[in-house]
Amino acid sequence: MLQGTTRVSRGQVWLKYASNRSALLGIVILSFFIILAVLAPIIARHAPFRIVAKGLQPPNLAYPMGTDDLGRDILSGFLFGSRVSISVGLTAALFSIAIGILVGSVSGFLGGSIDDLFMRGTDFFIMLPRFFLAMFLATIFGTEIYITIVIIGVLSWPGTARLVRSRFLSLKEKEFVQSARAIGASNFLLIFREILPNAISPAIVNGSLEVGNAILLEAGLSFLGFGDPNNPSWGFMLSIAQHFLSIAWWMAVFPGIGIFLTILAANLVGEGINEMTEPKSREWRRGGPIGKQTT
Amino acid sequence: MEEMIKDQDTSLRKYVLRRVLQAIPLVIAVIVFTFMMIHLFPGDIIYLIAGEGGSAEYYDFMRHAYGLDKPIYDQFVIYLTKILQGDLGNSLYFNQPVVTVVGERIPATLLLMISQFTIASILGVLLGLLAASRPGSKTDGSVIVLSLFWYSIPVFWSGQMLLYVFSLRLGLFPTEGMVSLTGDVSGFGYVLSVLRHLALPAVSLALHNVALLARVTRSSALEALREDYIVTALAKGVKERTIVFTHAFRNALLPVTTIIGLHLGVLFTGAVLTETVFSWPGIGRLTYDSISRRDYPVLIGIFIVVAVSVIIANLLTDILYAKLDPRVRYK
């Protein structure tokens, strides 16, 4: 039961195979939703969030996801809502990867007081509960969709920056960097040509997880009432559904499944990449992809 | 020997002192940050303090009362002193100090958080250890898969689904609140009523954290089980079960403690969302209501309270960690 070496290998091989497959599944699901979101205006049979029929109809042929309390087609709402959720998720991932890599690499490479300053800042934002920060910022700056995207983006990159910086710190003194420096490579080249390609994998993994986090954050904000009523998302639909739970379960089930599947997909991709690029033995020190980097 | 013990005590004390001194500027930083953000408000700040729909004279009065006509540096000092003294402003809706409004609801949230946390920790750690003791097996696989599933479900949606199935449909649990309005107000009946109301929200929150804890425990237990002393123990004839549940457990406990402490912020977040679904009368529900009522002082106050709580929780976790693992004290 407790492993001798062969048992460990078999378990680990299985794990690698399963994680490759699950990462693939995650990519498939995400692509599916992205396609749905892009094609929404074409495939939706009715205008979203416009009253088209009798309210509170359970799923039927004309309205496969039913209608809500006002008589709006939920399927169309689902399709258009996906655009909000997914654009938020992808933007956050972009912010996370782009800004996170930039800040993390420069900070980790230069070290000293610049590093100190940046890390104090990022630590501050990593420590504070992200959801409450987002709520606070939304209270101050408003709930328009663009503001929400910026807020979530700004809250997404500190984690990646930390991870990238860690990598830079450990790679900075290695021989290949020293030799490049010896032949006269500039700092810019050192950062972006030499070290970065080796430091990028945690950024990618974290970026993928940030997609899930961002979608969840946006859904939660909308659920509580910080959503943009002009661009309703899945979370927004759930907040309305809350009031009609006893008589219209379909109002809550479908948007919820949407949120769940996209988050699941993002996590699958992130974990899959993590399994493929990191040796298993290092996992616990980083607390795995779900945990927080502490160094 | 006595020297060693004394050294341990001093090192712990020094560490505690160091960490406390580090925490203080963090709290100040939170207050500075809040102050900055408030002053970045795109409208007139007075609306954040005094609400909307007031007369011009009212706003002038409030402006003077809150020192908004003074230079910014003075304003900050006033703000800082007020908060450190526990004055977080007045709720627009309740017409009471924010600290009172928030303080009244903290016990309910604490009850919810502690109960879900207990369930999640016990179940999560057990499942993690179970998976770690049979790596690569079906049990291990199912734990991994199920954890990923539960971790990905939004906590407010699982709350809604649980509410729908077990309360609205099956009628097994009450649909809202912490106590029934028509029941006992004290004694055993009261406790039972609270427990019945607590069940669904606690479970929906716990599921998410069980998943997280199971994964972390499994990872760190696997890591711990790879150590050489495990092989030695096996060779010595110690029973496998003992090994898993003592050695691996104790080593897995350290990162679990870290996760638990660091995730207080997430616990609060979960509480906010779940309380809204179940109308549980805690801080979460207060947040939701304040949003719809535009009770800005309460919202800002809750942010400060939660942020400072997280700082304190991190501090306590670090101290606990240092107590369990002496190596940390010399960092």
* B188 to chain A, closest Cα gap in Å: 30
A124, B36 contact by CB (below 8 A): no
| Mean residue pLDDT across chain B | 83
A24 touches chain B (CB under 8 A): no
In B, minimum Cα distance to A131 occurs at B269
Condensed to tens digits (0 to 9), the pLDDT of residues B95-121 reads 899 999 999 999 999 899 889 888 888
State the nearest Cα–Cα gap between A148 and chain B, in angstroms.
Answer: 15
CB atoms within 10 A of CB B220: 28
- B171 in the Ramachandran plot: left (φ > 0), alpha (ψ -120 to 50) or beta? left
Q: Is A7–B168 a contact, with Cβ atoms under 8 angstroms apart?
A: no
DSSP secondary structure, A64-130, as one string: TT-B-TTSBBHHHHHHHHHHHHHHHHHHHHHHHHHHHHHHHHHHHHH-HHHHHHHHHHHHHHHHS-H
Question: Largest alpha-carbon pair distance within chain B?
Answer: 84
**Nearest residue on chain A to B48, judged by CA atoms?**
A140
Alpha carbon distance A269, A211 (integer Å)? 10
Beta carbons of B276 and A224 less than 8 Å apart = yes
- How many other C-beta atoms are found inside a 10 Å radius of the C-beta of residue B296? 23
Torsion on CA atoms B305, B308, B312, B318, rounded to nearest 10: 130
Closest CA to B102 of B268, B301, B266, B274: B301
* Residue A219, pLDDT score: 93
Tell me the ipTM for this assembly.
Answer: 0.85
Residues of A in contact with B259 (CB under 8 A): 287, 291
Q: Is the pLDDT of residue B304 over 70?
A: yes
Q: What is the pLDDT of residue A136?
A: 92
Query: Measured between beta carbons, which residues in chain A are less than 8 angstroms from residue B307?
Result: 128-129, 132
Q: What is the distance in angstroms between the Cα of B134 and the nearest Cα belonging to chain A?
A: 6
**All structural domains of chain A with their residue ranges:** 18-283
Give the CA distances from residue B193 to residues A83, B23, B180, B205, B254, in Å, rounded to whole numbers and listed in that order. 43, 40, 7, 19, 36
Kindly list the residues from chain B whose CB atom is less than 8 angstroms away from the CB atom of residue A135: 287, 291, 299, 303
* Selection from B110, B35, B36, B93 nearest residue B267 by Cα: B110
Least confident stretch, A238-252, B135-149, B180-194: B180-194
Q: Which of residues 262-281 of A touch B (CB under 8 A)?
A: 263-264, 267-268, 271, 281
Q: Which residues of A touch B223 (CB under 8 A)?
A: 281, 283-285
Q: Between B168, B265, B300, which is nearest A136 by CB? A: B300
Report CB contact under 8 Å: B244, A263.
Answer: no
Q: Determine the distance in angstroms separating the CA of A47 from the nearest CA of chain B, rounded to an integer.
A: 25
Q: Quick one: pLDDT at residue A285? A: 35
End-to-end CA distance of chain A: 34
Residues in B touching A119 (Cβ below 8 Å)? none
The minimal CB distance from A131 to the residues B269, B288, B300 is found for: B269
pLDDT of residue B78: 87
The highest-confidence range among A245-259, B117-131, B165-179, B211-225, by mean pLDDT, is A245-259
Q: How many CB pairs under 8 A join A and B?
A: 175
CB contact under 8 A, A225 and B288: yes
Q: Check residue B4 and give its pLDDT.
A: 65
Residues of B in contact with A136 (CB under 8 A): 34, 37, 299-300, 303
Measure CB to CB from residue A127 to each of B134, B141, B314 and give the nearest one: B314
Identify the residue with better confidence: A285 or B136.
B136
The CA distance from B111 to the nearest CA of chain A, in Å, is 20
Q: Which of A81, A7, A83, A75 is nearest to A45 (CA)?
A: A75
Cα–Cα distance between A46 and B233 in angstroms, integer? 68
pLDDT at B249: 72
| CB-count burial class (<10 Å; 0-12, 13-18, 19+) for B15 | buried
Of A8, A245, A264, the CB nearest to B152: A264
Q: What is d(CA A48, CA A42) in angstroms, rounded to the nearest whole number?
A: 12
What is the C-alpha R_g of chain A? 22
State which residue of chain A sits closest to B151, comparing Cα positions: A264
Residue A11 C-alpha, separation from nearest chain B C-alpha, in angstroms: 4
C-alpha closest to that of B132 among A57, A238, A294, A283: A283
Please give the CATH number for the structural domain made up of A18-283: 1.10.3720.10
Query: What's the pLDDT score for residue A260?
Result: 95
- The answer to whether A259 contacts B287, with C-beta atoms less than 8 Å apart, is no
**pLDDT tens, residue by residue, B283-295:** 988 999 998 888 8
- Which of A7, A12, A129 lies at the smallest CB-CB distance from B265? A129
For residue B272, pLDDT over 50 is answered with yes
Q: Which residue ranges of chain A lie beneath pLDDT 70?
A: 1-17, 19, 278-295
Residues of A in contact with B137 (CB under 8 A): 11
Q: How confident is the model at residue B186 (pLDDT cuts 50, 70, 90)?
A: confident
